């Protein structure tokens, strides 16, 4: 076999479901990244702007790179829900994929070196400046979709990506100057665009993160837009809607056993996330090894408070009033006020409770609470 074939064989032996090779060079269509940033679609994710130069010219951050090995790992599983109906993105229900993929990439890099196939290899899982989907498409492991993700005929949109930057030139899985591999395409289907509750797509393949529920519930810091809250529905962490409606994902194999279910998600309740310990360190310990940790205690509690507004119950009402009066985070208190106004504004005690809370808040939070009372 050729060296390229040997590398791919070892990648599959390492436990990856998909693997392909592409030149370590600017990804096809890399100029789209700059245009996306210029439109402000990244929202408050300032690190994406800082990565602009490296994304457009990856050799600047890995000058030893000659070939990019891209791997994929299936993660499809049933929808993730809390005991009281909150939803968590499927990928976040189990162990953090960064750790799972990262460990195997490092072991694979060692095996490649021992086999004399490379001198060195740098592993990458999400947190490096790569135009990842375009590189993966160029490596032949999927095609870019109208939902701005990557699709595969077997795994649909339900797979993680990881990379090894190799210091040797290897034959690409797909010739560098050819079109991306035609595993399939979206055709005339617009299911993902039509189903997005916040109209977050400016067009096929163009996602405005500022309107995406995954961004709103994970990456965004501070108070969220009331218009988006009204459309957040049951989503406490992330959103799977555009993937769930995709015809390519309907028959993906179940990989629940691969990543398991994190202990913090087993039997979880939104009310506990709203009223639980406010100590950030206790939160980090509780969610150790879980992607949900990314939102932080404040973010997850605020998200959960919003969801309780969409799922009004007596237990939820008690949790929201507790948060309004006692939570140390102004973001959580304001989110609780929004949900109380949204779902319980007609209740006799709700408006006076929010008005009393406003008197204790600074001008910004008080104004947001007042706006919620006026809106509903």
Is the dihedral angle over the CA atoms 290, 160, 164, 117 positive or is it negative?
A: positive
The three-class DSSP label of residue 314 is: helix
- Please answer whether residues 188 and 212 qualify as being in contact, where contact means their C-beta atoms are separated by less than 8 angstroms: no
Q: How far is CA 124 from CA 56, 62, 121, in A?
A: 17, 11, 10
Three-state DSSP state, 360: coil
From CA 312, how far away is CA 343, in angstroms rounded? 6
DSSP of 125-150, one letter per residue? Answer: SSSSS--HHHHHHHTTS-EE-TTSSE
Would you state the torsion angle of the CA atoms of residues 215, 216, 219, 221, taken in this order, to the nearest 10 degrees? 160
Q: Cα separation of 363 and 69, whole Å?
A: 52
Residues annotated as part of the active site: 126
- Reading the block at residue 61, the tokens are 């951050």
């Amino acid at each position: 076999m050729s060296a390229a074939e040997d590398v791919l064989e070892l990648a599959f032996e390492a436990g990856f479901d998909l693997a392909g090779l592409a030149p370590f060079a600017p990804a096809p269509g890399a100029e789209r990244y700059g245009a996306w940033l210029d439109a402000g679609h990244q929202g408050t994710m300032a690190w994406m702007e800082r990565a602009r130069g490296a994304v457009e010219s990856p050799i600047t951050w890995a000058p030893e790179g000659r070939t990019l090995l891209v791997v994929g790992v299936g993660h499809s599983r049933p929808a993730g829900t809390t005991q009281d109906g909150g939803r968590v993105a499927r990928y976040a229900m189990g162990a953090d994929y960064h750790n799972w993929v990262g460990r195997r990439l490092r072991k694979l890099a060692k095996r490649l070196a021992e086999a004399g196939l490379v001198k060195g290899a740098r592993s990458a899982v999400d947190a490096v400046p790569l135009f990842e989907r375009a590189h993966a498409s160029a490596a032949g492991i999927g095609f870019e979709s109208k939902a701005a993700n990557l699709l595969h005929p077997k795994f649909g949109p339900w797979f993680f990506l990881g990379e090894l930057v190799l210091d040797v030139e290897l034959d690409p899985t797909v010739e560098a100057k050819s079109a991306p591999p035609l595993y399939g395409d979206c055709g005339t289907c617009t299911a993902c665009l039509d189903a997005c509750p916040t109209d977050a797509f400016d067009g096929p393949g163009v996602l405005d993160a500022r309107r995406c529920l995954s961004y709103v519930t994970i990456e965004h810091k501070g108070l969220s837009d009331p218009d988006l809250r009204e459309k957040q529905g049951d989503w406490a962490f992330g959103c799977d809607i555009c993937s769930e409606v995709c015809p390519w994902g309907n028959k993906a194999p179940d990989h629940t056993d691969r990543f398991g279910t994190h202990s913090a998600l087993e039997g979880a309740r939104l009310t506990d996330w709203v009223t639980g310990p406010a100590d950030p360190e206790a939160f980090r310990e509780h969610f150790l090894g879980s992607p949900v940790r990314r939102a932080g205690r404040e973010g997850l509690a605020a998200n959960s408070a919003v969801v309780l507004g969409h799922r009004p119950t007596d237990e939820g009402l008690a949790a929201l009033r507790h948060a309004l009066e006692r939570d140390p985070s102004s973001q959580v208190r304001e989110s609780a006020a929004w949900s109380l106004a949204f779902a319980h504004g007609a209740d006799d005690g709700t408006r006076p409770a929010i008005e009393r809370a406003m008197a204790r808040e600074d001008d910004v939070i008080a104004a947001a609470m007042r706006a919620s009372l006026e809106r509903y």
